């Protein structure tokens, strides 16, 4: 439980952090809330010889709501959970944050760290997929914005270059006719998702005009469910339509089994939780 030796840096700006990443290459790891990295280091699953603590970079922290919702990478789960602005603009985000771990984890863990770590059982990935969010990153050659659909590439792997830092996450402000919901079957000890489903629905004239369903916990990476979404769009959003769409959920993804839940059980839970998430999202959309 004792990590290997490392040098510690605490840069004051994103530019300084990027320059340290360039200087130390593969030896270096960014440290945000430390609630994924430090346990991995204590187990020697990660052995960086340089830690770059971005926790003091003020420009990475905070929430703003204008045309869109914007959350700095260092925004803690607790800040998301308790933000009145988010509750009114995009309530699925605080709803998701409130379900993460326990109060200690939520006080320190950050949204940027959670997305960069891309744990297959983490909660935010499903939600940002359903919201079709943008991940803003900064690296040596400037800034870029990655659509979340391209961000999670494999288990614990993202489209981030090793010298890039997530700076903020941008999601839409939900308006009239739009609703979103996140529901999960949590592991009873850690609260990580055994299966977590986020749904976004837009209703127009009594029909489903758009739908996105993000699933986490069930496979190597969080994924949208194109077949289930296609089955739902154009329907009347009724319980019968939800049941048809939920049957398609998980059919296109690799689903794994482990000591907590076998593959067949997870596949069954994907359908159950998709039904629940869609039902809530439609109700919130006024359908």
Ligand X SMILES: Cc1cc2nc3c(=O)[nH]c(=O)nc-3n(C[C@H](O)[C@H](O)[C@H](O)COP(=O)(O)OP(=O)(O)OC[C@H]3O[C@@H](n4cnc5c(N)ncnc54)[C@H](O)[C@@H]3O)c2cc1C
List residues near ligand X by CB under 6 A. 29-37, 39, 73, 100-101, 105, 109-110, 112-114, 116-117, 119, 122-123, 160, 165-166, 190-192
Residue 122 or 218 having the CB closest to ligand X: 122
Residue 65 or 105 having the CB closest to ligand X: 105
Strand partners, 216: 196
Minimum CB separation of residue 215 from ligand X in Å reads 14
Residue 93 or 282 having the CB closest to ligand X: 93
Minimum CB separation of residue 282 from ligand X in Å reads 25
Minimum CB separation of residue 158 from ligand X in Å reads 8
Quickly list DSSP for 119-161.
-TT-SHHHHHHHTT-EEEEEETTEEEEEEGGGTEEETTEES--
Strand partners, 157: 154
- Helix, strand, or coil here: 8? strand
Angle of helix 263-284 relative to helix 239-248, nearest 10 degrees, comes to 140
- Helix, strand, or coil here: 205? coil
Strand partners, 71: 63, 169
Helix (H) or strand (E) holding 283: helix 263-284
Best CA proximity match to 227, nearest among 255, 243, 247: 247
Minimum CB separation of residue 13 from ligand X in Å reads 13
Minimum CB separation of residue 15 from ligand X in Å reads 14
Whole-number Å distance between alpha carbons of 248 and 287: 21
Residue 32 or 281 having the CB closest to ligand X: 32
Residue 186 or 287 having the CB closest to ligand X: 186
Contacts of 3 (CB under 8 A, 6+ apart): 38, 41, 42, 44, 47
Residue 127 or 203 having the CB closest to ligand X: 127
Minimum CB separation of residue 152 from ligand X in Å reads 13
Minimum CB separation of residue 281 from ligand X in Å reads 20
Residue 119 or 178 having the CB closest to ligand X: 119
Whole-number Å distance between alpha carbons of 94 and 88: 10
């Amino acid at each position: 439980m004792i990590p290997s030796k490392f040098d510690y840096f605490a840069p004051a700006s994103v530019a300084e952090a990027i320059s340290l990443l360039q200087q130390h290459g593969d030896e270096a790891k960014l440290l945000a809330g430390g609630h994924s990295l430090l346990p991995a280091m204590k187990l020697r699953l990660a052995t960086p010889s340089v830690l770059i603590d971005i926790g003091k970079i003020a420009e990475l922290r905070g929430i703003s709501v204008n045309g869109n919702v914007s959350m700095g990478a260092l925004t803690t789960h607790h800040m998301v959970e308790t933000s009145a602005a988010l509750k009114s603009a995009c309530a699925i985000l605080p709803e998701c944050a409130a379900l993460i771990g326990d109060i200690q984890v939520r006080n320190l863990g950050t949204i940027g760290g959670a997305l960069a770590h891309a744990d297959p059982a983490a909660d935010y990935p499903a939600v940002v997929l359903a919201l079709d969010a943008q991940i803003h990153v900064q690296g040596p050659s400037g800034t870029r914005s990655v659509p979340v659909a391209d961000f999670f590439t494999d288990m614990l792997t993202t489209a981030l270059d090793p010298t890039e830092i997530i700076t903020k996450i941008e999601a839409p402000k939900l308006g009239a006719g739009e609703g979103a919901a996140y529901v999960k079957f949590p592991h009873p000890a850690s609260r990580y998702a055994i299966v977590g489903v986020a749904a976004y629905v837009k209703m127009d004239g009594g029909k489903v005009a758009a739908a996105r369903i993000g699933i986490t916990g069930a496979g190597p990476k969080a994924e949208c469910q194109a077949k289930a979404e296609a089955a739902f769009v154009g329907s009347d959003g009724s319980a019968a339509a939800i049941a048809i769409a939920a049957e398609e959920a998980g059919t296109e993804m690799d689903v794994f089994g482990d000591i907590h839940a076998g593959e067949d059980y997870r596949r069954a839970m994907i359908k159950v939780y998709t039904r629940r998430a869609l039902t809530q999202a439609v109700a919130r959309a006024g359908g």
